[in-house]
Chains A and B, each alone.
Chain A
Amino acid sequence: MSTATTTIEQLARQDYKYGFVTDVAAESIPRGLSEDVVRIISAKKQEPEWLLEWRLKAYRAWLEMAEPTWHNVHYGPIDYQDIIYYSAPKKKTLASLDEVDPEVLATFEKLGIPLNEQKALSGVAVDAVFDSVSVATTFKHALSDLGIIFGSFSDAVQQHPDLVRRYLGSVVPYTDNFFAALNSAVFSDGSFCFIPKGVRCPMELSTYFRINAASTGQFERTLIVAEEGATVSYLEGCTAPMRDEHQLHAAVVELVALDNATVKYSTVQNWYPGDKDGKGGIYNFVTKRGKCLGVNSKITWTQVETGSAITWKYPSCVLIGDNSVGEFYSVAVTNNRQQADTGTKMIHVGRNTRSTIVSKGISAGFGQNTYRGAVKIGAGARHARNYSQCDSLLIGDRCGAHTFPYLEVKNTSSTVEHEASTSKIGEDQIFYCRQRGISPEDAVNMIVSGFCKEVFRELPMEFAVEARKLLGISLEGSVG
């Protein structure tokens, strides 16, 4: 399985001409956002009328909203008129790896990413080694034989408009928040995944598989639906450092699980975090939510966040179906000048619902890590159970960890547990390890892995191995 997956990863990232609608002219539209821009985006993607209407409603709602300021992260004002909201999905091509930032290359080496992949990730033209079309197509056929739909959001709008229309915005309405409204108005592309009744998706789906794997959009929109009895595990992101000239990334991910269905959504995020002084770097403001609509349904979010200058996201679960389960396992790292305000919301509505939150925050350098969690038990949520564990690890003495847990309980038959701990890695501990023959890098890795093991255990196998390595790299030079 893993060899096949690696091959697929290599191939899916190569530029290829198959299956791409080429009516897109190469011009880019001027900067700025207006109703016209929204119409242009929709027209270029040849979207049906109902979707254009939806975008426009979202845009008009956005105009009425104010950017939120309650967060515990600090950034300069974003000029929403200074962004290009549509550009042709063509990667910028460099001639060779020599043109790539050496620091980025060094990370590729450490992560053990093969040369061709390095080129693909950096936008360097790749020599065609394989017949990229046939192998990628084989997997697509295997999935479609089972009735599984997996591809780009834009393709889904064309090929399965009813499905998209039924579920789009049902978990994150465009009125939800400022960035969700913006995303709904101008979203570029993303993934669409539909698992029909009773089907267990036989492989982990990842963005690598997306046939139309264009450069990651600034406003990604993803929708995953698992019908009755279906299961799927989806991997988003990659461990390689993703650099993009866009500073703001405001994605929306919606998950829907019907009766007895299970959706697992795993993210490894390593966006460019900015330099040691905090200049540059990506703002990752994401709205992710899963709706456990069905009885006995289950949604699990697992994430390892090491990149971005600012991470602001709360993958959440709304537990509507009786006996439904929501889980959130997270490791968030802030080093140098990174900031994170992340956590989750578990909203218990149905009966006998259960939620588990395990959040591990690691701060190093001048990093500021905030956990913000909300557990809401509704009046009708009889016998709801929640367990939350929120641990912080501080490396060095200039970083910070903050915790804002909110518990709102309206049903007396529920059980809510919250545990929190804070610990520190200091030079003394590193020296102790060194004096026993362990190198400082291994020492930090060991301590951090020990700290994160409850979360790593929940990651899909491939990610777990990469995540460990990635953690080591993000924390390099953090001690001493």
Chain B
Amino acid sequence: MLDITNLHARVASTEREILRGIDLTVKAGEVHAIMGPNGSGKSTLTGVLAGRGEYEVTEGSVRYDGKDLLELEPEERAREGIFLAFQYPVEIPGINNSYFLKTALNEVRRHRGEPELDAMEFMTLVRDRMAVLHIDQDMLNRPVNEGFSGGEKKRNEIFQMAVLEPRLALLDETDSGLDIDALQVVAHGVNALRAPDRAIVIVTHYQRLLNYIVPDHVHVLSNGRVVRSGGKALALELEERGYAWTDVDGDRVASTTVGAR
């Protein structure tokens, strides 16, 4: 589904290079975890895939379902089924959550040639997802993320994901700032969305989330490159030994792929 080849990207305003040749392939039905120290480029990678304006791609390509992803506008990528669960979801005053989500869902549906939903149909569709993610009606009526706690914001992200049913879900540090209970709710929500036609990429610092959402593949990013790839055991090794274990100097990339690609 997703083929990233030699991707180089930099911050547009400062021209500072962050991604220095990422190669990654994600197939439908798979769950990939991307780990790495601060500054390694994890969030930049998801940002570039989602189309954030602050990043510029200087080399390489990204193909999504055979299409050139970098040619598409962010909203087009979203309508094609790419979802980014933000690390820091913003607040949007004046628009309530349900109106916002209904509008987004109808954009996706229209793109797919499906009929748009009215308010009643929308409420029926979201009801069970609300239960799974512990979202109540009051939260739905409030402006998007306004006054939400960190945990509520993260749950809201996964709730939106559950309603929009993306084909490629990118979760950017979804576990940051969550207590154990919230973590379990979020993980449960993500796991409920695992499907043979859906791929999930989880960006995280800590192994803990991966106890709940067990990945098929784990990749370690360092200095803008994938330096190691492996199965779920790799995450446990990292937890024990720290990132320095995978530390490599710029040119020597020890990319040992265990059991996947």
Residues in A lying within 8 Å of B, measured CB to CB = 423, 426-429, 431-440, 442, 446-447, 449-451, 453, 480
Contact, CB under 8 Å: B73 / A438: no
B50 touches A438 (CB 8 A): no
Q: In the complex, which residue of chain B has the Cβ closest to the Cβ of A424?
A: B93
Report the nearest A residue to B78, measured CB to CB: A437
Question: What distance in Å separates the Cβ of A457 from its nearest Cβ neighbour in chain B?
Answer: 14
Decide: A447 and B94 in contact? CB cutoff 8 A: yes
CB distance from B35 to the nearest CB of A (A): 23
A436/B164 in contact, CB under 8 A: yes
Q: How far is the CB of B166 from chain A (nearest CB, A)?
A: 10
Selected contact of B103 from candidates A423, A438, A440, A453, CB within 8 Å: A438
* B92 lies within 8 A of A436 (CB): no
Interface size on B, residues (CB 8 A): 31
Determine if B104 and A437 form an interchain contact, defined as CB atoms under 8 angstroms apart: yes
A431 contacts B104, C-beta separation under 8 Å: no
The closest CB in chain B to the CB of A425 belongs to B92
Q: Which of A429, A435, A453 contacts B74 (CB 8 A)?
A: A435
Q: Is the CB of A436 within 8 A of B78?
A: yes
**A270 → chain B, closest Cβ, in Å?**
23
Chain A proximity of B144: nearest CB distance (Å) = 8
Residues of B within 8 A of A (CB): 50-53, 73-75, 77-79, 83-84, 86, 89-95, 100-101, 103-104, 107-108, 111, 143-144, 160, 164
Contacts of B52 in A (CB 8 A): 431
A-B contacts, 23 of them at CB < 8 A, read: A423-B93, A426-B90, A433-B104, A435-B51, A435-B74, A435-B78, A435-B83, A435-B86, A436-B100, A436-B101, A436-B107, A437-B108, A437-B111, A438-B107, A440-B75, A446-B95, A446-B100, A447-B92, A447-B93, A450-B93, A451-B94, A453-B94, A480-B53
Given A427-B53, A434-B75 in contact, is the A446-B103 Cβ separation under 8 Å? yes
Number of A-B contacts (CB under 8 A): 71
**Closest chain A CB from B117 CB (angstroms):** 14
Measured between beta carbons, the chain B residues less than 8 angstroms from A438 are 75, 103-104, 107
In the bound complex, CA of A438 to CA of B108 (Å): 9
Q: Who on chain A is nearest to B73 by CB? A: A434
- Min CB gap A276→B, angstroms: 21
Judge whether A432 and B103 touch: CB under 8 Å.
no
Complex contact A431–B94 (CB within 8 A)? no
Evaluate contact between A428 and B90: CB separation under 8 angstroms: yes
Are B107 and A437 interface neighbours, CB within 8 A?
Answer: yes
Give the residue name and chain of the A residue nearest to B164 (CB). Answer: A436
> A423-B93, A427-B53, A450-B95 known; A432 and B86 CB under 8 Å?
yes
Residues on A with beta carbons closer than 8 Å to the beta carbon of B86? 432, 435
User: A450 contacts which chain B residues (CB < 8 A)?
Assistant: 93-95, 143
Min Cβ gap A432→B in Å is 5
Sorted nearest first, the 8 A-B pairs with minimum C-beta distance are A450-B94, A436-B104, A437-B107, A437-B78, A434-B74, A434-B75, A450-B95, A451-B94
Residues of B contacting A480 in the complex (Cβ-Cβ under 8 angstroms): 53
Complexed CA–CA distance, A431 and B53 (Å): 9
Which A residue's beta carbon lies closest to that of B50? Answer: A435
Q: Once the chains are docked, how many angstroms separate the CA of A439 from the CA of B75?
A: 6
CB distance from B52 to the nearest CB of A (A): 6
How far does the Cβ of A475 sit from chain B's closest Cβ, in whole Å? Answer: 14
Q: Which residue of B lies closest to A448 (CB)?
A: B94
**Contact status A429-B75, CB under 8 Å:** no
Give CA–CA (A462, B152) in the complex, Å: 40
Contacts A434-B75, A446-B95, A451-B94 given; 5 further ones with Cβ under 8 A? Answer: A423-B94, A434-B78, A438-B107, A447-B94, A450-B95
